[in-house]
A and B are shown apart, each in its own frame.
Chain A
Amino acid sequence: MIDSIVANTARMICGCRARWIEPPIDTEPRVYYANHSSHLDALMIWASLPTPLRKQCRIVAAADYWLATRVRRWLANDVFKAIVIDRKNPSRANNPIDIFVKSLDEGDSVVIFPEGTRGAGGELQEFRAGLWHIVRRRPAQAFVPVWLENLSRVLPKGEFLPVPILSAVTFGSPVRRESGQRRDDFLDILRNRLDQLREVHS
């Protein structure tokens, strides 16, 4: 209930439209991976999912920011059901890959930004190896590319006030690793499949 309200409000403010190349028919756990250019990215992927998929979708939140105040803690824990990661003190116990794999094993989906940091909203940067570490441990895992359009214009890096420009979230068809595929090939294919969504309009 409350999460639907938050999701709809967020979508309305960002004028956000969701598009699916292949509408999802089941709730198989997925790794949603997306281009990263705004603080809004994870929130809007979460908000754009249909309710059953949204309920099982976990986004990652940095502990130092999201546990700092009561409202944020409530949003992170009760609304987003976020995976809260302590990025200040990395340790064996909070290795993000372990946490992602554990969530997937529990039947949840996760959101990952393989470029690492937020870009300026132009070219896709090189992918880091995180997706590879996941597929090595769960070879049958489905990876869904998600292209985020215009969110960098709604709230660019370094700004704190959003501008209500219309945005769109495009979900591509799931990608799986073919047997014997090597690390660089796998990451290249994931990157190309995401880049292709840039051209999709409807």
Chain B
Amino acid sequence: MNDPAMQTLLGIVFGALVVGTIVAMIMSRRATSERLQKLAANLNQRMRAWWIMASIFVVSILLGGKLTIVLFGLTAFLAFREFVTLTPTRRGDHRALFWAFFIIIPLQFVLVASNWYGLFAIFIPVYAYIFIPVRIALAGESENYLERTSKIQWGLMICVYFVSHVPALMMLDIRDFEGRNASLLFFFILIVQLNDVLQYVFGNLFGRRKIAPVISPNKTWGGFIGGITSVTVIGALLYWTTPFGPLEAAGMSLVIALMGFAGDLTLSAVKRDLGVKDYSASLPGHGGVMDRMDSVVFAAPLFFHLTRFFYT
């Protein structure tokens, strides 16, 4: 808490929440058309959920230790739950799913907590990927076998393996950055979520041409360019909360923003395929946990490995 980097990041989060809440309140007072009223109502709902999510995240970071790992473990659990709910699984998948939920997910985060990088990096892509198809085959149902197996495997990859790379930042031994990994994790989450919010804001203000109208009608070139540019600048300004120099922090932020966009787009494609608008209704205004984590999933492993490769 005495760390000035932490204080700054906290200040930004708090400031953004206050600004967002005030904007939402003004909008709902002034909204004239039905479209604007709807937008304002949704924004108010979103802000309420943001306050809760930000508080949980900040508290877990400040209390530190293993709590951040537990928080992301729970997030992965809830995300995988949404993914499996929307995926048509069959009777024969039941036991495999039980293993995935109660053995594989907890173990992946135990590996993070125990700093065992070697096994952490291959546990799901090798061992879970062998175990799941065998367990489903043993259940003896062959209908759509390949499809069912791949869906569960991909769900584990996206919701669990990729997400586990966020708390894994805690296990990196970064040169000249001892004991400050929590602020790097904070930086990462802040940039990912700011990128989301700014793409949404710029998209609503200047968005004209749609990038992928079929997959995700809300994504426009205006929002995309405005979002990644501003996030890259913010990241560069915050370089001193990370082990990076200003230019490197800008580069990292750019990678985070691009991967955030890629994750968002990919998981929107999954939603279209499954025929739903949101992954669930657990976060009012946002949709499900996966609707909030979609921009984290691809950015996390890239950010983790770039940091690990160049700074440890």
Contacts and interface: CB of A to CB of B under 8 A. Distances in A.
A120 interface: yes
Chain A interface size range: 10 to 19
A17 B97 CA distance: 21
Interface string A144-176: 000000100100100101011110000000000
Contact of B101 (A17, A159, A164, A166): A164
A108 B219 CA distance: 53
B209 interface: no
Contacts, number: 29
B280 A166 contact: yes
A165 B280 CA distance: 11
A165 B85 contact: yes
A15 interface: yes
Chain A interface, >50% SS class: loop
A159 B91 CA distance: 10
Interface string A133-153: 000000000000000001001
B84 interface: yes
B81 A120 contact: no
Which residue, B89, B91, B97, has most C-beta atoms of chain A within 10 A? B91
Which residue, A156, A161, A166, has most C-beta atoms of chain B within 10 A? A166
Given A120-B91, A156-B91, A166 B82 contact: yes
Given A17-B281, A166-B280, A156 B81 contact: no
Given A15-B81, A166-B81, A153 B89 contact: yes
A159 B94 contact: yes
A166 B77 CA distance: 12
B308 to A, nearest CB: 33
Contacts of B280: 166
Nearest to B279: A166
Contacts of A166: 81-82, 85, 280
Contacts of A150: 85
A105 B205 CA distance: 62
A23 B224 CA distance: 43
A165 B84 contact: yes
* CB-CB nearest 9 A-B residue pairs: A166-B85, A163-B97, A165-B85, A163-B98, A156-B91, A161-B98, A159-B94, A164-B81, A156-B94
10 contacts: A153-B89, A156-B94, A161-B98, A163-B84, A163-B94, A164-B77, A164-B101, A165-B85, A166-B82, A166-B85
Interface of B: 77, 81-82, 84-85, 89, 91, 94-95, 97-98, 101, 280-281
Given A163-B98, A165-B85, A165-B97, 4 more contacts: A15-B85, A120-B91, A153-B94, A156-B91
Interface of A: 15, 17, 120, 150, 153, 156, 159, 161, 163-166
